[in-house]
Chains A and B, each alone.
Chain A
Amino acid sequence: MPTAIRGEAASGVLLSLWRAAAVFRVAALLFCGYLILRWRDLYAEPAVALGVGAAMLLATAAMVLLAWPGRAHRLGFVLADVLGCAALTMLSRLAQHPDQYHGGMPTLTSIWGAGAAIEVGLLLGGAAGVLAGLLQFAASVFVREGYDGRTLANGVLIVLVGGVVGYLATAAVRAEQERAEAAAERARLAERDRLTRSIHDGVLQVLALVHRRGAAAGGEWADLAREAAASEAALRALITSRAPALTPSGQRELATDLVALRSTRVTVSVPDVPVLLAWPVAEELLAAVAEALRNVERHAGADAMAWVFLEDLGDQVAVTVRDDGTGLAPGRLDEAAGEGRVGVAESIRGRVAELGGQVRISSVPGAGTEVEIVVPATASKGSLR
């Protein structure tokens, strides 16, 4: 269907089509009016014929006045036009002699009747346009009590016009929407680019500088330096743009998600090529990494730094979370599990085992902990429920 929202004024390509339909209506009226005036003395009831002509004139005027500002694109008007058009066509039977309507004289509305089918096509799409054309055809069949070749040809033309105009209107409106969306997306990316550049050239440099100078000055300045460093890292994580990878549906690019974890405490290192995993696998893996980082925050000590390293090994994907914190005494992981605390052992091992992967946790008291998670790159369908 051409538009999703009814009752709103038509705009853009749809408005142009409505104006074109109005022009067609006027041209068709001139043709039909000419025939009615020329043959007015031949009709059985000239008054009826002239009355129908006057009604067509009024209907056309109304249509043009409504269509030009885009206000004809509404169900009430189009429905009234379709029914009125069929009624005026059927009045031919009162106006003409039987040998006229049986003998091939065009109905009073003839080509003008196609206008209604066009309007339905514009409003409701091709299928509805075909139906409106058929209604108009039925009205002329009623007038002639049958159809000869000429009636049939006219009917087919009207049906086709309704269908084709409807189809084209739908396609044109869709193309217009897609173009508008593409333009909006381009504008969004350009704006993001602009912001990134200005943040990059200005704020980020100053923050980095405050960080460096402040740290050297010590005291209160060192606190300020730490704040600046945190803001710098947050901003940098925000604007770091990896070219959006073309991700096949059902897959997720891990590097982009991991890079978002960067902070003053967390260094994230990833390859420059996209690392793709099936969506649920990536989801679980990221959750395991988040769990490992939470663990660093909780147990590794206040000054601990963490490094996240993503490596694509071909048939496997490895993520390592290392910290330089206090480390764990041998057996503490098992203890935690034994006490029923959902810690590293439960949560990470559980998640990764379900993916058919492995977790290696090594820790030296005083020298930090390293959690290495390896999952098969093909851990897509089978291993997950």
Chain B
Amino acid sequence: MSDEAAGTRVLVVDDHPIWRRAVERDLAEAGFEVVACVADGETALRLAPATRPDVVLMDLQLPGITGVEATAELVRADPSIRVLMLSSSGEDADVLAAAKAGARGYLVKSAAAEELVEAVRRTAAGEAVFSPGLAALVLGEFRRMALGPSDDPTRLTERETEVLRLVAKGLTARQVADRLVLSHRTVQNHVQNTLRKLQLHNKVQLTRWAIEQGMTE
């Protein structure tokens, strides 16, 4: 694992000092390069261009600008940046907002240290880290959006819906693959696609809104 972790640059954003130190230590022990540990979104935005993190570990509840706003701004400035959301209570609306804003995954803070390290590793590798809660939120959001036109390219395929449902029921990616007789890689692609479509839909919505308001480009 250390080999994969080596060279992966991580920025930790969390306002709780003890937590920040603990996470930094866990990540450093696992071989990640923690480029900075900051307490708020403003500092994260200021340091991101210079520290060039691959993964940003973002607490959603921050003083000053929120984790959602910081995520949106980081992704806007650098679309390749991978934000892994963390929150210690299930603020459903915030998690969904951050996912739409471009976060690549979500983990509850109560996750064990190994789970956190594994989630950062997977995020760095480009995989989407989903919790059952995030899967249910995303499914609910697509159901809400499905009220629109049916030729929308941002709709979920049946397979994607099926995969998300199993994730929401608590199955791991490996278990989903076994259940549907798919490769792990394929399941990962489906999960990533749902997040990508969610973000795309969000952009389309914003653009449509901008056109309606007469504010294009």
Contact = CB atoms under 8 A, between A and B. Distances in A.
Interface of A: 200-201, 204-206, 208-209, 211-213, 215-216, 229, 232-233, 236, 239-240, 242-243, 259, 262, 267-273, 305-307, 309-314, 320, 322, 324, 370
B141 A272 contact: yes
B169 A309 contact: yes
Residues of B contacting A: mostly: helix
Given A271-B137, A305-B170, A310-B136, A209 B89 contact: no
Contacts of B112: 211-212, 215
A271 B89 contact: no
A320 B132 CA distance: 12
A271 B143 contact: yes
Which one of B15, B110, B113 has the greatest number of beta carbons of chain A within 10 Å?
Answer: B110
B140 A205 contact: no
Nearest to A307: B170
B209 interface: no
B163 interface: no
Q: What 9 A-B pairs come out closest when comparing CB atoms?
A: A271-B140, A307-B170, A269-B136, A269-B132, A309-B168, A205-B16, A269-B133, A236-B89, A322-B169
A240 B168 CA distance: 19
A270 B93 CA distance: 11
Which one of B93, B109, B171 has the greatest number of beta carbons of chain A within 10 Å?
Answer: B109
Given A201-B15, A229-B110, A311-B136, A259 B169 contact: no
A242 B141 CA distance: 16
A272 B170 contact: no
A314 B136 contact: no
B98 interface: no
Contacts of A272: 92-93, 96, 137, 140-141
Given A236-B90, A270-B136, A205 B168 contact: no
A158 B92 CA distance: 61
B61 A200 contact: yes
Contacts of B143: 271, 311-314
A259 B88 contact: no
Contact of B18 (A204, A205, A262, A370): A205
A267 B133 contact: yes
Contacts of A259: 90
A310 B168 CA distance: 9
A200 B169 contact: no
Which one of A206, A239, A270, A314 has the greatest number of beta carbons of chain B within 10 Å?
Answer: A270
A306 to B, nearest CB: 8
Contact of A267 (B89, B140, B144, B170): B170
Nearest to A305: B170
Interface residues of B, number: 35
Contacts of B89: 200, 204, 236, 239-240
13 contacts: A201-B61, A204-B89, A209-B18, A240-B91, A262-B90, A267-B132, A268-B133, A269-B135, A270-B136, A271-B137, A307-B169, A312-B140, A322-B171
B18 A311 contact: no
B58 interface: no
Contacts of A212: 22, 26, 112-113, 116
Nearest to B15: A201
A270 B92 CA distance: 8
A222 B91 CA distance: 28
Contacts of A209: 18-19, 22
A310 B171 CA distance: 15
Interface string B125-165: 00000011101110111011000000000000000000001
Interface in B39-92: 61, 88-92
Nearest to A212: B113
A239 B168 CA distance: 22
Contacts of B132: 267, 269, 307, 309
B19 A269 contact: no
Given A212-B113, A236-B90, A206 B140 contact: no
Contacts of B136: 269-271, 309-311
Contacts of B90: 236, 240, 259, 262
Contact of A270 (B15, B109, B140): B140
Given A200-B88, A307-B169, A205 B139 contact: no
Contact of B168 (A200, A206, A269, A370): A269
Nearest to B137: A272
